[in-house]
Structure 1
Amino acid sequence: MPITFRVIQETLRVASILSFTFREAVEDVEYEGYLIPKGWKVLPLFRNIHHSPEIFPDPEKFDPSRFEVAPKPNTFMPFGNGTHSCPGNELAKLEILVLLHHLTTKYRWTIVGTNSGIQYGPFALPMNGLPIRLAQKL
């Protein structure tokens, strides 16, 4: 299910489960002219990385084809990164695949009302909810 997997990856990019995390600088770091002293707490914002036009061109467009080639290291981190990465991330992606398989093969679904976009605060959610109607396929 490679196309479905790319849809999941793009969904996780657009609407990350993990918006940010806390880290501590283990040494003095200069970043874009600013000094981050050793011991300071930093707050990487994954949404800013995932929506950066330098990393993901046209970042507001939903485009699963972005993941036909693996993204560069440290540019796609929906479950964190490195030793602090969520240990259940592969299981979570597998569960999403199984859910989508059953929803698309066994049910017809239609949006009730209008789709009015995404709100961020702090997690990505459909604006005003996203009610759907499910009907079992016969």
Structure 2
Amino acid sequence: MASILPFTFREAVADVDYKGYLIPKGWKVMPLFRNIHHNAEFFQDPDKFNPSRFEVAPRPNTFLPFGNGVHACPGNELAKIEILVLIYHLVTNYRWDVIDSSDEVEYSPFAVPKGGLPAKIWRL
């Protein structure tokens, strides 16, 4: 649902015409990952949490949680493994109930559940 970095900066290395707008060489460009990741053109119901949307790989350059190209996060593969290990242990060793959740999200600057996400967690 969110990238740890909501945006980044890049510099145009040449004049670029983008949908009728000129981006001159040397200008800073700020890709907004949230706008890319929540684009209905690329993802059905983009504001809904739905991990099964990734059963089929997304189109190139439409899902960039670790950036892209030469500026991609060098630790992206390690981070993916760490997340898988964490989820494995949470699912196999713990149970949890979410208490009083809200569908609202606040951005400050990262996307988090409004009011937090209180949960009761117990070890099996």
TM exceeding 0.5: yes
1:117 to 91, 104, 109: 104
Q: Residue 65 of structure 1 aligns to a residue in which SS?
A: helix
Q: Is 1:54 the equivalent of 2:54?
A: no
CA offset at residue 114 of structure 1? 2.8
Q: Which structure 1 residue ranges, 4+ long, deviate > 6 Å from structure 2?
A: none
Residue identity (%)? 67
Write the mapping of 1:55-134 to structure 2, written as runs, cut at 5 A: 55-134=42-121
**Larger relative contact order (C-alpha < 8 A, sep ≥ 6)?**
1
Unaligned runs of 5+ in 2: none
* Root mean square deviation, CA, Å: 1.2
The alignment covers a number of residue pairs equal to 124
Matched letter for residue 108 of structure 2: G
TM-score normalised by structure 2 residue count: 0.93
| 1:37-67 Cα distance to aligned partner (Å, 9 max, x none) | 0000010001000001111122112222221
Change (3 A) 1:53 1:116: closer
1 or 2, which has the higher helix percentage? 1
Change (3 A) 1:102 1:58: same
